[in-house]
């Protein structure tokens, strides 16, 4: 099984599992993958780069291969702002960090619409918690949208 990962996520090693890490701003997907995981990296792309990226992912997957997306929840962040309870994680979800600024924020509806346009078949679209490490080494929990979609020729 061959997995491509964009963003800072890892998969425990297993026999027969090949895991390849890529930078979402500078990548070449070679060959076919069974799974592509994009963890908290899609917001780094400008809006006009998102569909081309998803199309590249689609073309690089085997038939029935999976795209797994984790993206900060715009709805959750917006509620924090609206209720004056925003904290560091809220601002990170909206704007990213200095080294990796976010160019867009996604509601589930916006994200799912983009994915289905490519045209992936969405198999699940749920809320999840992603544990991320801050530059200070602290682990924080971030509400994310988690979408699993498949290439289905």
Partner 1 sequence: MTSTSSKPIVDIGIACNINQSYLWWKDVMTMLLQEVRYGDAEIGMLRTVGSALPDHNKNNIVGNSVKRLSLTDYNRTEITKGFLDGKADYIFWMDDDTAPPNNVISRLLKSGRDFIGGVYFLPSPPHHPIAYRRDPETGLYAPVFGYSDAALIQIDSIGFGCTLVHRSVYEKIRDNHTVFVRTNGSLAAIHNSRIQKPIVTRHAKKEKPYIRAGIYHEQYTQQEAGDTRQFPYYQLEYGRTEDHYFCELAESVGIKPWLDTSIVCTHYKMKGAGHDDYKQEEMKAEGLI
Q: Which residues bind partner 1 (CB under 8 A)?
A: 73, 75, 79, 82-83, 107-109, 111-113, 121-127, 145, 150, 152
Q: Least distance from C-beta 36 to partner 1, angstroms?
A: 19
Q: Least distance from C-beta 74 to partner 1, angstroms?
A: 10
Q: Least distance from C-beta 149 to partner 1, angstroms?
A: 10
For partner 1, which is the closer residue by CB, 17 or 81?
Answer: 81
C-alpha distances (whole Å) from 71 to each of 16, 20, 31, 40, 151 are 28, 20, 26, 5, 20
For partner 1, which is the closer residue by CB, 48 or 83?
Answer: 83
For partner 1, which is the closer residue by CB, 17 or 121?
Answer: 121
Q: Least distance from C-beta 50 to partner 1, angstroms?
A: 16
């Amino acid at each position: 099984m061959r997995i491509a990962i964009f963003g800072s996520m890892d998969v425990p090693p297993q026999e027969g599992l090949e895991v390849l890490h890529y930078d979402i701003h500078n990548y070449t997907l070679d060959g076919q993958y069974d799974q592509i995981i994009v963890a908290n990296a899609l917001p780094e792309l400008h809006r006009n780069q998102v569909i081309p990226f998803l199309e590249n992912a689609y073309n690089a997957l085997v038939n029935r291969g999976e795209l797994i997306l984790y993206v900060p929840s715009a709805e959750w962040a917006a509620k924090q702002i609206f209720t004056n309870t925003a904290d560091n994680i809220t601002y990170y979800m909206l704007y990213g960090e200095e080294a990796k600024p976010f160019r867009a924020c996604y509601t589930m509806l916006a994200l799912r619409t983009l994915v289905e346009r490519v045209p992936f078949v969405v198999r699940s679209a749920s809320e999840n918690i992603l544990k991320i490490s801050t530059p200070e080494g602290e682990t924080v929990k971030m509400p994310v949208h988690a979408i699993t979609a498949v290439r289905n020729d």
